[in-house]
């Protein structure tokens, strides 16, 4: 199906089930919010079928915090796009980090689009969503941010941090 989304290196075919669920939820929320729905029925059904129905509220709260405080337009693609946008990839990476209790990495990733205080608030909602996913058996694979230098990521979220050896 033809569409106008830019081509990216990563495609939906490259994603595992848990990652596809997150991308679907991002895109569905964006689509339904544009139609005026705050807690879309399609998301409710999807979260219910994935056995993480109680993850819907923290997910929607995360999205509201993200949209309310963003410093730039977010690239969440249309439902027909076969590519994963850089912003969608960043959320996937943040969910994977949070599922491994690396909240500081998730917060640093969110700071790409959000001011520090807003990233902290959004990260808290994202953590609740990510943990509900994990409880339901949807664990994302380790993202690229988990393989990078953790000291520099920690400094990004807390510039006053000093590590002593």
pLDDT, averaged across the chain: 86
CB atoms within 10 A of CB 132: 21
State pLDDT tens for residues 78-129. Answer: 999 999 999 999 999 999 999 999 999 999 999 999 999 999 999 999 999 9
Tell me how many domains the chain contains: 1
What is the DSSP-derived secondary structure letter of residue 147? G
Q: Which two tokens stand for residue 103?
A: 């909240």
Tokens 């409710």: give the residue. Answer: 44
The answer to whether residue 86 is domain-embedded is yes
Is residue 19 within 8 A of residue 88, CB to CB? The reply is no
Structural domain including 43 reads 12-157
Q: Whole-prediction pTM value?
A: 0.85
Residue 96 lies in a domain: yes
In a domain, 164, yes or no: no
CA atoms within 13 A on the CB side of 38: 5
């Amino acid at each position: 199906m033809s569409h106008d989304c830019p081509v990216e290196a990563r495609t939906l075919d490259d994603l595992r089930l848990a990652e596809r669920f997150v991308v679907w939820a991002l895109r569905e929320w964006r689509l339904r919010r544009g139609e005026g729905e705050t807690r879309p029925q399609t998301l409710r059904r999807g979260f219910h079928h994935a056995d993480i129905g109680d993850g819907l509220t923290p997910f929607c709260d995360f999205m509201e915090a993200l949209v309310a405080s963003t410093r730039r337009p977010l690239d969440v693609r249309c439902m027909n796009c076969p590519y994963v946008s850089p912003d969608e990839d960043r959320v996937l990476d943040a969910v994977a980090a949070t599922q491994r209790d690396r909240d500081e990495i998730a917060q640093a990733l969110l700071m790409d689009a959000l001011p520090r205080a807003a990233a902290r608030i959004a990260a808290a909602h994202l953590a609740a969503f990510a943990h509900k996913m994990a409880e339901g058996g949807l664990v994302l694979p380790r993202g690229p941010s988990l393989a990078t230098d953790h000291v520099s990521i920690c400094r990004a979220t807390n510039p006053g941090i000093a590590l002593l050896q």
